[in-house]
Amino acid sequence: MNISIIGTGYVGLVSGVCLAAKGHNVSCVDNVASKVAAINNGKAPIHEEGLGAMLAETVGDRLHATEDLASAVLSSDLTFIAVGTPFDGTRIDLSYIEAVSRQIGQALRDKSSYHVVVVKSTVIPGTTDGLVRSILEQASGKSVGQEIGLGMNPEFLTEGQAVKDFMNPDRIVIGGVDGRTQDKLADVYAMFDQTETILTNNKTAEMIKYSSNALLATMISFSNEVASLCSALGGIDVVDVMKGVHASAYLTTRRDEAGPPVVAAISSFLGAGCGFGGSCLPKDVKALAAQGVELGLPMSMLNSVIEVNLGQPGRMIDLIKDHYPDIRGLRVAVLGLAFKPDTDDVRESPAFPVIRLLANQGATIVAYDPFAIANAKRALDSIDVQFAADLEEAVRSADVVMLITAWEEFKSLPRLLDSMTKQPLVVDGRRILNKGDVKRYVGIGL
């Protein structure tokens, strides 16, 4: 099929490259000339495992990038909208969705054959059938359900393994205003015929995406609340508690006599720590809660999920204060700036609120991340932080070492500390170290 995709962020570009690899002809549209040029030169403007190689294989053949939205729409049968939907502090900002819907509608004025428009961006329930539909109809002079099909097809890509997730989907959610739209969209994914496919309306598709992320965030905040209670009670380690919780038959899905028990992947969201970040979980929970509040619902649970998460960086500081009531002048090594390991993405990273709290209380901060220092420098420009070139430089002569991101490299910390005379207090915000391996160890939920 001939497909156009508007937006070459990580959702748009990964989808475009993977759909081209699966045999579709794809035009990727972006209004940033440098991104378009990079893609056409076979260079991915974002870092995702496997993306570069797949782009190099498909570009110039089944994939190309362009700034010309109208011609990309006119030469395709189906257009995905994959532009950003940032949270502006109060509600989700739909201005990019509005702008591209209008441009797609204007282009469709000149198209005589049926065309399907599909929202892939994460948008609050009701957006596709409300805002997108009315702009498309008004700008095109045509009707959804007749000349235009309108669908909603959320993505479930995890950053760092987005290509793998796209090529091995756990589910395909196909929302559509009618059967004709759903059929056309189902054709896009025809090669994934073994994957569970959910055919539904657009609003439900939108809600499936939000509910999926809200559940993950809820599990993390649940674990963090239990962790706080464990710490307050004393004599309980949340890591041991969660081991016991994981062993439940609800989470350990199959006990095969020969092999070890198989733990459901969702158990990996029961890890207490310094909180969730990234471009999805924080924004999605806030946007969904805000929508509920606008509709007059209290949204007490999701608001608590956000509140617990906002409190975790402060808990990290409290752990230091139990040993050093006055933080002023302490040399604190902050290990990890990316919001999670194996990415250079620092968006909504818990490292920033931790660093801000430390800076406000007069600590000397040395930060280290194997991959994300350049991005963090941009985000932290007004805060006085020294950046270390490696792990050893960061922890050498530190009074306190704070572990924020669960990078594999940080597991070597006990060995590194063994070779040093001065032993810092290690505050494990991800509980990745064995508590017995470090002389002065404290952790969330311990």
| Nearest distance, CB of residue 46 and ligand UGA, angstroms | 13
Amino acid (one-letter) located at 184: K
Can you tell me the distance from the alpha carbon of 325 to that of 313, in angstroms, rounded to the nearest whole number?
17
Nearer to ligand UGA, 136 or 205 (CB): 205
User: To which H or E segment does residue 380 belong?
Assistant: none
Minimum CB–partner distance for residue 281 and ligand UGA (Å) = 5
DSSP H helices, 41-131, are 51-58, 69-74, 95-108
Q: Which is nearer to ligand UGA, 96 or 269 (CB)?
A: 269
**Smallest separation, CB 432 to ligand UGA (Å):** 11
Closest CB to ligand UGA among residues 380, 406:
406
305 to each of 87, 230, 268, how far by Cα in Å? 17, 18, 17
Give the whole-angstrom CA distance, residue 412 versus residue 390.
12
Helix extents (H) in 234-387: 238-246, 281-294, 300-321, 351-360, 373-379
Residues found near ligand UGA in the complex (CB under 6 A) = 156-159, 213, 216, 220, 268-271, 273, 275-278, 280-281, 339-340
Identify the sign of the CA torsion 224, 230, 232, 235.
Answer: negative
Closest CB to ligand UGA belongs to which residue? Answer: 271
To ligand UGA, the closest distance from the beta carbon of 418 in angstroms equals: 27
Strands of 108-213 (E only): list them.
Answer: 115-119, 148-152, 172-176, 197-200
- Say which residue the tokens 């998460």 belong to: 309
Catalytic residue among 18, 28, 274, 280: 280
By beta-carbon proximity to ligand UGA, the closer residue of 72 and 216 is: 216
Neighbours of 196 (CB within 10 A): 10
Q: Which is nearer to ligand UGA, 339 or 368 (CB)?
A: 339
How many alpha carbons fall within 13 Å on the CB side of residue 3? 29
Angle between helices 281-294 and 300-321 (to 10 degrees): 140
Q: How far is the CB of 155 from ligand UGA (least distance, A)?
A: 6
Q: Which is nearer to ligand UGA, 239 or 270 (CB)?
A: 270
Q: For residues 35 and 340, which CB has a smaller minimum distance to ligand UGA in the complex?
A: 340
280 is annotated as an active-site residue: yes
Which residues, in sequence order, are CB contacts of 306 under 8 Å at separation 6+? 221, 282, 285, 286, 289
- Alpha carbons 169 and 186: distance in angstroms, whole number: 14
Least CB distance from residue 220 to ligand UGA, whole Å? Answer: 4
Among candidates 446, 436, 351, which has minimal Cα distance to 402?
A: 351
Nearest approach in angstroms of CB 335 to ligand UGA is: 14
| Beta carbons within 10 angstroms of residue 60's beta carbon | 11
Positions marked catalytic: 280
